[in-house]
A = this chain, B = another copy of it.
Amino acid sequence: MDKKEALKKIAKRLRIYSLKMTTEAGSGHPTTCLSMAELIACLFFDEMKYNVKNPYDWANDEFVLSKGHAAPILWAAYAEAGIIQKKELMNLRKISSTLEGHPTPRMKWVKAATGSLGQGLSVGVGMALAMKLGKSSARVYVMMGDGECAEGAVWEAANTASYLKLDNLCAIVDVNRLGQSEATMHGHDMSSYEKKFRAFGWDVMKIDGHDVGQILKAFENARLSDKPTVILAKTTKGKGVSFIEDKNGWHGKPLKENDLKIALDELGAMPEIDSRKYVKTPEKANDPGFIKRFSFKKNIYEGKVPTRRAYGNALLNLGKINNAVISLDGDVKNSTYSEDFFKKYPERSFQIYIAEQNMVGMGIGIAAKGFIPFIATFAAFLSRAHDQIRMAAYSFSNLKLVGSHVGISIGADGPSQMGLEDLGIFRAIPGCVVLYPCDAYSSEGCVESMVRYKGLAYLRTTRPATPLLYSKGEKFPIGGSKVLRKSENDKALIIAAGITVFEALKAYEDLKDENIMVSVMDAYSIQPIDKENIIRSAEASGRKVITVEDHYPHGGLGDAVASALGGKADIISLAVSNLPRSGKPEELMDKYGISADHIKKAVRKAVNGKW
């Protein structure tokens, strides 16, 4: 059979499945699948090379469905390729099926969860970069919607892709003109998209997205380009079924049983073809040969040292023994101290400039290919990538995030630069490890713990230099804590982390002079928190607990301790109680209620029973 005829047949099969699946599920986005049937047919059954037996084969081309709501046609393509059974398609969106409403890696061929629009291109940029690093000659294809091109994250990714000369990256925009609630800003004005991508340094091709010949030619040309290439495919939403074609009001709506019958009649019988024969298998390729060792050499410190400085040292030494470790920076590497790694391992260091969303999205793609990306910026600016962090969780991503300059202890730069909600962002994610060292040694120990953990992990570092409490090589296991002061007569337990550990220790000394003995705990593992030790220590300290943190009152240490105690002790939670301002660190810590003086007051209040 002629290739083009075969691909047209496959496209029709994909259409029929997409319609049936969504009607069976009672929800989903059939019209957005129909506009890209020819594109998917050409991609999966001619252009891409992949080993149907192994989604992790290093030789595979990769595919990212950025317009995640088109999941049904992706599942249908995998069924046509023989990767999943066709009968499984009718389980779309069921709780028992991996064929979710939007793709997640519960289905093994999906490497990154999508469905929050405008993120897929960053994932593809990360994958394409990882492939170059791993000397793969495979390619990455990202299928985007036209509506999502309004997301700034797309242009961050586009910028980086051309800067990094990722000629192994091909984006396809399914320009079907219609968004969810109305037409897109540019409708079918293809030149608007063309101008933008060209301005961002991409090769651009404009085609009829339903013309198999044009599609195949475009992919061929894209392979020859020395730039990232975007194929702007003019398409019709709902293509193939006349009563929904190019009509507003059909986004995210499955056909009713009757309408489905009419639609299937119009499309005609399911074409007979064994699509599996058209899948192209790649040549064998060697994987990058990762040496993933974790026990890096620790440093000796003297005097006061910022935890961020120790993070930089740890990353450098980790990089020496683990060639999977990658460092990404958003133009603050001299503040986060990623810069030493950048100098020593320029080939594994990437300047993403001030584009945090793309930096995290790329991290998901890089991690999906087996590398271990460390992404460091100011904690405040990680909030810029909150949606990408959220999607990293649903991607089960092995991403390591580092937020520096946390809290009011940064001082005079003012609130815009203070990370005061970061613990809340990361604690909200089930399974996300959150570590918050207070000195240089614990910083190094926490880096080792986070890299040993396979999954999302966050390290919180502090701007000012802090004294040394621990010693070289001490372990800081996930879920642990350190009791720093303890006696037989403790009347209360102070739980601190990061910079407030030192305020707690100051308070301890003063209270001791007043004959009030207290326990002091460093809860460096904010999540999971050391529930057992907290309960035990609270019980040994009169069930009076004071928490103190350089973070807003909600989402951080105080909440974590309250949740661990579940009512087993009285708690006073000290945290940054109001919108802060510029000032000196010590002034601010006093003004906003987290200094040693406030801790002492809280302890006295607790001990005197006046809550």
Contact = CB atoms under 8 A, between A and B. Distances in A.
20 contacts: A104-B416, A116-B380, A116-B381, A116-B417, A118-B354, A150-B159, A151-B355, A152-B153, A179-B331, A180-B331, A181-B332, A195-B199, A199-B200, A381-B387, A424-B555, A427-B554, A428-B555, A430-B552, A430-B577, A559-B562
Interface string A190-213: 000001101110000000000000
A134 interface: no
A134 to B, nearest CB: 25
A583 B391 CA distance: 18
A123 B394 CA distance: 32
B332 A180 contact: yes
A471 interface: no
A582 interface: yes
Given A95-B591, A104-B581, A181 B384 contact: no
Contacts of A117: 354
Interface stretch (A165-173, A224-232, A483-491, A568-576): A568-576
Interface in A2-42: 25-28
Contacts of A335: 180-181
A542 interface: no
Interface in A103-150: 104, 106, 113-118, 147-148, 150
A273 to B, nearest CB: 30
A515 B415 CA distance: 53
Contact of A421 (B417, B425, B552): B425
A118 B412 CA distance: 21
Contacts of A322: none
A429 interface: yes
Given A118-B354, A353-B179, A95 B414 contact: no
A390 interface: yes
A582 B152 contact: no
A93 B582 contact: yes
A220 interface: no
A163 B185 CA distance: 8
A578 B184 CA distance: 35
B357 A152 contact: yes
A569 to B, nearest CB: 6
A26 B582 CA distance: 13
A329 B150 CA distance: 13
A587 interface: yes
Given A68-B416, A180-B331, A421-B429, 9 more contacts: A95-B584, A159-B185, A199-B199, A384-B387, A393-B579, A424-B425, A430-B553, A559-B562, A566-B573
Contacts of A549: none
Given A416-B391, A554-B563, A570-B566, A95 B587 contact: yes
A241 to B, nearest CB: 21
A188 B562 CA distance: 53
Given A331-B179, A413-B27, A196 B200 contact: yes
A373 to B, nearest CB: 18
Contact of A569 (B118, B429, B567, B571): B567
Q: Ordered nearest first, which 9 A-B pairs have the shortest CB separation?
A: A152-B152, A115-B416, A95-B583, A199-B199, A386-B386, A93-B412, A195-B199, A567-B570, A100-B582
Contact of A581 (B95, B333, B415, B591): B95
Contacts of A579: 393-394, 429-431
A548 to B, nearest CB: 15
A102 interface: yes
A155 interface: yes
A480 interface: no
Contacts of A532: none
Contacts of A591: 95
Interface string A335-359: 1000100000000000101110110
Contacts of A100: 414-415, 581-582
Given A390-B421, A559-B555, A579-B430, A415 B353 contact: no
B333 A181 contact: yes
A154 interface: yes
B428 A421 contact: yes
A420 interface: yes
A417 B115 contact: yes
Contacts of A588: 95
A466 B522 CA distance: 45
Nearest to A389: B383
Interface in A388-407: 390-391, 393-394
Given A116-B381, A353-B185, A555-B428, A104 B415 contact: yes
Interface in A356-380: 357-358, 380
A334 interface: yes
A544 B359 CA distance: 45
Interface in A417-462: 417, 420-421, 424-425, 427-431
A94 interface: yes
Point out which of A153, A181, A196, A563 has the most chain B C-beta atoms below 10 A from its C-beta.
A181
A317 B244 CA distance: 33
A267 to B, nearest CB: 25
Contact of A114 (B416, B420, B571): B416
